[in-house]
Amino acid sequence: MSDDPLVLFMPSGKRGRFPKGTPILEAARELGVYVESVCGGRGICGRCQIEVADGRFAKHGITSSAEHVSPFGAKEQRYAEKRELKPGRRLSCSAMVEGDLVVDIPQDVQINAQVVRKADDGRVIERNPAVQLCYVEVDEPDMHKPLGDLDRLKEALERDWGWADLMVDHHLLAKVQSILRQGQWKVTAVIHKDMETSRPSLIALYPGLHNEAWAIACDIGSTTIAMHLVSLLSGATIASSGVSNPQIRFGEDLMSRVSYVMMNPDGREAMTKAVRDALNELITKVCDEAGIDRNDIYDLTFVGNPIMHHLFLGIDPTELGGAPFALAVSGAVHTWASELDLVINPGARVYVLPCIAGHVGADAAAVTLTEGPHRQDERMLIVDVGTNAEIVLGNRDRLLAASSPTGPAFEGAEISCGQRAAPGAIERVRIDPQTLEPRVRVLGIELWSDEEGFTEAAETLGVTGICGSGIIEVVAEMFLAGIISADGVIDGSLAAKSDRIVANGRTWSYVLWRGDQQLVITQNDVRAIQLAKAALYAGIRLLMDKLDIETVDTIRFAGAFGSFIDPKYAMVLGLIPDCDLDKVSAVGNAAGTGAKMAVLNRDHRREIEATVREIEKIETALESRFQEHFVNAMALPNKAEPFPKLAAQVKLPAVKELAEAEAGNGGRRRRRRGR
Amino acid sequence: MSDDPLVLFMPSGKRGRFPKGTPILEAARELGVYVESVCGGRGICGRCQIEVADGRFAKHGITSSAEHVSPFGAKEQRYAEKRELKPGRRLSCSAMVEGDLVVDIPQDVQINAQVVRKADDGRVIERNPAVQLCYVEVDEPDMHKPLGDLDRLKEALERDWGWADLMVDHHLLAKVQSILRQGQWKVTAVIHKDMETSRPSLIALYPGLHNEAWAIACDIGSTTIAMHLVSLLSGATIASSGVSNPQIRFGEDLMSRVSYVMMNPDGREAMTKAVRDALNELITKVCDEAGIDRNDIYDLTFVGNPIMHHLFLGIDPTELGGAPFALAVSGAVHTWASELDLVINPGARVYVLPCIAGHVGADAAAVTLTEGPHRQDERMLIVDVGTNAEIVLGNRDRLLAASSPTGPAFEGAEISCGQRAAPGAIERVRIDPQTLEPRVRVLGIELWSDEEGFTEAAETLGVTGICGSGIIEVVAEMFLAGIISADGVIDGSLAAKSDRIVANGRTWSYVLWRGDQQLVITQNDVRAIQLAKAALYAGIRLLMDKLDIETVDTIRFAGAFGSFIDPKYAMVLGLIPDCDLDKVSAVGNAAGTGAKMAVLNRDHRREIEATVREIEKIETALESRFQEHFVNAMALPNKAEPFPKLAAQVKLPAVKELAEAEAGNGGRRRRRRGR
């Protein structure tokens, strides 16, 4: 065993022994720890800052001390004078190993003072970006060796940085001479390298030291576009913003947008332009917020459902409107930002994550990348509820995906008093099983309806309808209070006990709200929820069949809908299979996080590409058992299966006999609207 | 030794033994003989036609016979019925080896009837083009395996043609679905693969079988742009055309074009647009002539001197206007035709040959590729004369290049009665050494001046001046006739003998032509030619010094000037070193041929890239011996060196004492005008 000092890097935990005098940056490189360095160890960029921990790390058997590093060198002195080096910080290109060390790689190495970071979700994504800044000093022209200016630049990039056989973006040909002269033969090259089998490209060039490199990660939802601006040099998210998808003016849901394309000769172009314009505006917004130059954006990743994916890329989505739901392209797309009319650095590249299937898009792939069922042994169910629910189920051994035609009921459509989640919408409901009286919470009012001040607030705001999460809760609470039976029928006999139960033709309704506007849950509303949840559950159950499992270990609700619904009520209604409630969680915009992972680390791109190739795609419409599961799942929570874990956590009503599900419901036409 | 039949392919001479039943196409592939096949052996494209020779080939020890091939198969029957199969032709994908064979690969396999070919120079260039057409049948969409349409196309291209990991041009994303459906899942993919280390790209896609693939090879001269349209499937040149470089309106010679850029803010853009517009017009012209669709052009190669090269690529050439004459880029340039505003297939690629140095461009590289000094043992001198002469000298062991500032005298400028090579210009001169009377030939008149009918023709046409080749001949003939001495002085004493010798101030002139316009060769004209030839010879001599050689084995004159001058007179004047006259030849537009080689065979691209890297670049301005050689070379043919081979072939006058060359002439400012 060598006597060389032991160096441990945190947070990665990578360790190795290095001879005294080894620059810490070199040690990091040898261990594959990603420490940024734009200037290549010249001590001028300040990107390679590290901190040395002080103390005894018993677990690792290391006693680390700032004394175990070489004293402040000339490069660090000069840097500290010119810029600023916080106490405890060292430049790892200058600081050399002199004894055992624990080295922290700070995540905040930002030169900009105006760093915003407010939008960071705190997740640490290990960096291995496709973009690298490389400062070089280029030989001056020599008549004895008349290599072109660009050729000598390439020579320097190979000599100092090991970039052999670089491709060069065409737009740089006309600029390279003036940039080299402006920088007096000192320039910063921006290199993009993604696919391992492709050649790295020189995509931008700056005179002197250029210390800025940004990327965009973006989730194009059919309702909302969410964008994150992240630093390729530190990994930090410094601005996030969202905007309504302007394609809404062509059609609220996905199918109506496909119809618009089919009906209008310029429909595809108009919608492509609308989304790209919105992206350019969002880029302006995040750049303004962060105070950065949009020309310093070099790499972008996008996710979205298949129709958003196609319209963004300029592809006619008509084929996605009917069987066999053929994607134009399912694999990851690599292209230029300029091909997509994005106004940023002309050399910037775009990576679009792969789609899983015609109904399961790059957004579902991104959620999978974020939550990582393929990285673990536990069987995870991921559900992203929209007009179609996207379902991913499995673990590292086997992963399946499908979509189920839930219809728009969960989004408040097809519900008599349903509405979008907006101020004035009822979002939470509790029903007293004795009195059958409801308590509600309304979006925009931070009080329950039986709390002081609510009535006044409600009168001011106006209570206008019930949103998706409210629908789930009211139907589940009606079931728990015995107002509806397991087969979903509202019990008219309770009208004798409560004036909330009222006749409505030959069926009964439940009066949820009495105000300017009376909000009533009808028998048809309950049926709509039953149909939607049966479709979702049948899809999930189908995947469980394929895996031959009866329960799942964890459940993740992705997307906006998932963020608002209470897992307990989702399970009471039987949207999702039986599971420990504390293993069910909402993961918010996991698709956006997946886009961020892909932009910061190209290993994640290869990871999701390989994962998507391996995922087994199940087409629910072609599976004979889907119909059977659908019929069973009409019941609350489900006719055919017990929910023992749920029953242990929630007092379920005694199961009554379930009426047969209406004929014809199982064969509903597939509808789409997305998240 | 195997008993399998022996198969010999002509013209390559490659041979091998193959089991009976081997398709001839497969045998060709195994031996690396390039036989085209678009349909991949389905017998529908007809591109793989071969002929079987009949008879005994004693030299090869083969008796070949049409009987040694399997009988006409079903695929050939079908093809012959639908299209046409000339007598003796077989489809090599269908015809199988049954005995010893000599197989001819015809160079004319053209499906188009309208093949023009008139412009072909007959040179057979072995094909290994960067473009390949690949017909495939793609799986239809399958909901059980929801790969995108493009992804299934890529799968088919990998399965049938071995293309793994294809890149796809962005413009195809939006088209792939409709093309696949239009072709009912049968399509022809156009694949471009050039750099060995880069990934192949899908650049175009057609429904059904597409049997057309064309390329452009183009030499952008400062005076003339020459373009060839060649078939990538057969190698044939089917149309050639040329046009004046429209940049002439911004400046006749190269330096005045650089000045125009320096003086005018939009000068570079205007000249770039001018040349690209001219290229688009030429493309229209060659396509019309050949009756082909310009969208079937997929690959283009360009050559040109450094300033034409830069202006074409949109690069400011200002740096080339002064020391150190820095090229923006010297290596080969790979780009898209669309980046250069060329209106052809949107996926078409462009390859620009490398430049050798700031004064020795991609045109010189192309001439080198064509003439191949690096492929042989004989020491070859290549001279391309323009305002700067580009000189390449050496063999496979060592190759050198330089340019010499000859000035524009060889092009008729700086000569009192000089003019461009155009009708009315004297191009050939003979002087009777006894009478000193001249005979001439004039461009546009197919007679010598002492032949019957010349006088009338000359009166009709008008004799207006003397062009480059005429200048060389008249000065050389004046020397051979004793009118000028070896030091270039016109002998005034001859005025007594001939009225052609007339006084002109303090010097003498020679009256070459008496007509409406009198054309006189003055002492200054002779001096201008002496200066130009001394500069050229000094450059050549410098390279010979570096190689430590006294003679060269072969001499090639490239370019328009070289095509018209008589090697004998060039050597009498000492433009070129002593050499057997039958080893001196003009090679016409060898630069255009080099461009053709590069477009038809990417091995030639690698070959010239490697050769240019190895060429030793000599900057004459930095070499102290250049001046010495220049002074010696003022004499005819040269003061310092004997011309024994020349003397054995041409009766040279006795050498008189040579006056010292005028001081100051050696230090002339470098001037440029190019070919």
Instruction: Give the chain A residue whose CA is nearest to the CA of B359.
Output: A146
pLDDT for B421-470, tens place per residue? Answer: 889 999 999 999 999 999 999 999 999 999 999 999 999 999 999 988 89
Tokens 């009426």 correspond to: A659
User: What residues of B are in contact with residue A342 (Cβ under 8 Å)?
Assistant: none
Boundaries of domain holding A357: 237-365
Q: What residue spans of B59-131 are helical by DSSP H?
A: 74-82
pLDDT band at B83 (very low <50, low <70, confident <90, very high): confident
pLDDT at B10 > cutoff 70: yes
Taking an 8 Å cut-off on Cβ atoms, the answer to whether B177 and A326 are in contact is yes
pLDDT band at B226 (very low <50, low <70, confident <90, very high): very high
Rounded to a whole number of angstroms, the CA Rg of chain A reads: 29
The more confident residue out of A407 and B25 is B25
Are both A582 and A638 inside the same structural domain? yes
> Does residue B344 sit within a domain?
yes
Are both B177 and B304 inside the same structural domain? no
Instruction: Give the chain A residue whose CA is nearest to the CA of B339.
Output: A170
Percent of chain A surpassing pLDDT 70: 93
Region B252-272 average pLDDT: 93
Cα–Cα dist B240/B121, whole Å: 10
CA distance A173 to chain B (A): 7
The more confident residue out of B350 and B88 is B350
Number of domains in chain A: 4
CATH of the domain at B335: 3.30.420.480
> Does residue A377 sit within a domain?
yes
> Does residue A499 sit within a domain?
yes
Are both B350 and B267 inside the same structural domain? yes
Instruction: Give the chain A residue whose CA is nearest to the CA of B316.
Output: A174
Region B462-481 average pLDDT: 93
User: What residues of B are in contact with residue A178 (Cβ under 8 Å)?
Assistant: 316
The more confident residue out of A275 and B143 is A275
Q: Does A266 touch chain B (CB under 8 A)?
A: no
pLDDT for A343-353, tens place per residue? Answer: 999 999 999 99
Q: How many CA atoms lie within 13 A of A436 on its CB side?
A: 22
Which residues, in sequence order, are CB contacts of B215 under 8 Å at separation 6+?
Answer: B129, B131, B229, B230, B231, B232, B297, B298, B299, B300, B301, B599, B600
Are both A506 and A544 inside the same structural domain? no
Q: Does A621 touch chain B (CB under 8 A)?
A: yes
Are both B238 and B284 inside the same structural domain? yes
Are both B341 and B234 inside the same structural domain? yes
Cβ neighbourhood burial of A4 (10 Å; 0-12, 13-18, 19+): middle
Rounded to a whole number of angstroms, the CA Rg of chain B reads: 29
Whole-angstrom CA distances from B97 to A165, B18, B67, B584 are 43, 7, 10, 46
Flag whether the ipTM exceeds 0.90.
Answer: no
Q: CA B5 from chain center: how many Å?
A: 41
Taking an 8 Å cut-off on Cβ atoms, the answer to whether A177 and B356 are in contact is no
Q: Does B158 touch chain A (CB under 8 A)?
A: no
What does the pLDDT read at residue B444?
92
> What pTM does this model have?
0.88
Among the candidates B186, B207, B228, a domain finishes at B207
What does the pLDDT read at residue B669?
40
Tokens 């041409």 correspond to: B650
What does the pLDDT read at residue A573?
92
Are both A638 and A542 inside the same structural domain? yes
Q: Does B667 touch chain A (CB under 8 A)?
A: no
Of A197, A325, A619, the CB nearest to B199: A197
Tokens 């064509």 correspond to: B370
Cα–Cα dist B522/B507, whole Å: 8
Taking an 8 Å cut-off on Cβ atoms, the answer to whether A145 and B621 are in contact is no
pLDDT band at B35 (very low <50, low <70, confident <90, very high): confident
The more confident residue out of B198 and B65 is B65
For chain B, the straight-line distance linking the first and the last C-alpha, in angstroms and rounded, comes to 57
For residue A201 the two structure tokens come to 């490209």
Interface test with A, best of B143, B261, B341 (most A CBs within 10 A): B143
Interface test with B, best of A152, A175, A177, A624 (most B CBs within 10 A): A177
Percent of chain B surpassing pLDDT 90: 71
Among the candidates A521, A544, A561, a domain finishes at A521
Q: Residue A11, preceding bond cis, omega within 30 degrees?
A: yes
Q: What is the mean pLDDT of chain B?
A: 90
Q: What residue spans of A43-144 are helical by DSSP H?
A: 74-82
Region B360-383 average pLDDT: 96
Among the candidates B471, B498, B527, a domain finishes at B527
Which residues, in sequence order, are CB contacts of A613 under 8 Å at separation 6+?
Answer: none
- Between chain A and chain B, the number of residue pairs with CB atoms below 8 A apart is 160
Instruction: Give the chain B residue whose CA is nearest to the CA of A164.
Output: B197
Q: What backbone torsions phi and psi does residue A652 show, to the nearest 5 degrees? A: -90, 150
User: What residues of A are in contact with residue B168 (Cβ under 8 Å)?
Assistant: 329
Taking an 8 Å cut-off on Cβ atoms, the answer to whether B176 and A148 are in contact is no
Which residues, in sequence order, are CB contacts of B494 under 8 Å at separation 6+?
Answer: B436, B482, B483, B501
Of B149, B154, B316, the CB nearest to A326: B149
> Does residue A578 sit within a domain?
yes
Taking an 8 Å cut-off on Cβ atoms, the answer to whether B330 and A174 are in contact is no
CATH of the domain at A571: 3.30.420
> Does residue A193 sit within a domain?
no
Taking an 8 Å cut-off on Cβ atoms, the answer to whether A315 and B146 are in contact is no
> Does residue B166 sit within a domain?
yes
CA distance B675 to chain A (A): 21
Instruction: Give the chain A residue whose CA is nearest to the CA of B151.
Output: A329
Are both B590 and B500 inside the same structural domain? no
Interface test with A, best of B158, B170, B334, B624 (most A CBs within 10 A): B170
Q: Specify the range with the lowest mean pLDDT, choosing from A44-48, B27-31, B71-75, B124-128.
A: B124-128
- CA A41, A43, A49, A54 dihedral sign is positive
What does the pLDDT read at residue B118?
38
For residue A619 the two structure tokens come to 């087409």
Cα–Cα dist A22/A493, whole Å: 84
Q: Does B182 touch chain A (CB under 8 A)?
A: no
For residue A114 the two structure tokens come to 């105006």
CA distance B155 to chain A (A): 12
Are both A244 and A359 inside the same structural domain? yes
Interface of B with A in 113-152 (CB under 8 A): 141-151
pLDDT at B115 > cutoff 50: no
Number of neighbouring beta carbons within 10 Å of residue A564: 19
> Does residue A49 sit within a domain?
yes
Are both B607 and B631 inside the same structural domain? yes
Region B354-377 average pLDDT: 96
> Does residue A218 sit within a domain?
no
The residue ranges of chain A whose pLDDT is under 70 are: 1, 107-124, 195-197, 654-675
Are both B592 and B562 inside the same structural domain? yes
Are both B483 and B632 inside the same structural domain? no
Taking an 8 Å cut-off on Cβ atoms, the answer to whether A331 and B357 are in contact is no
pLDDT at B112 > cutoff 50: no
User: What residues of B are in contact with residue A390 (Cβ under 8 Å)?
Assistant: none
Taking an 8 Å cut-off on Cβ atoms, the answer to whether B143 and A621 are in contact is yes
Region B97-119 average pLDDT: 64
Taking an 8 Å cut-off on Cβ atoms, the answer to whether A314 and B174 are in contact is yes
Q: Is A123 helix (H, G, I), strand (E, B) or coil?
A: coil
Interface of A with B in 281-340 (CB under 8 A): 313-316, 319, 323-331, 333-336, 339
Tokens 């390039």 correspond to: B34
pLDDT for A642-673, tens place per residue? Answer: 888 888 888 888 644 433 333 334 434 444 44
CA distance B193 to chain A (A): 12
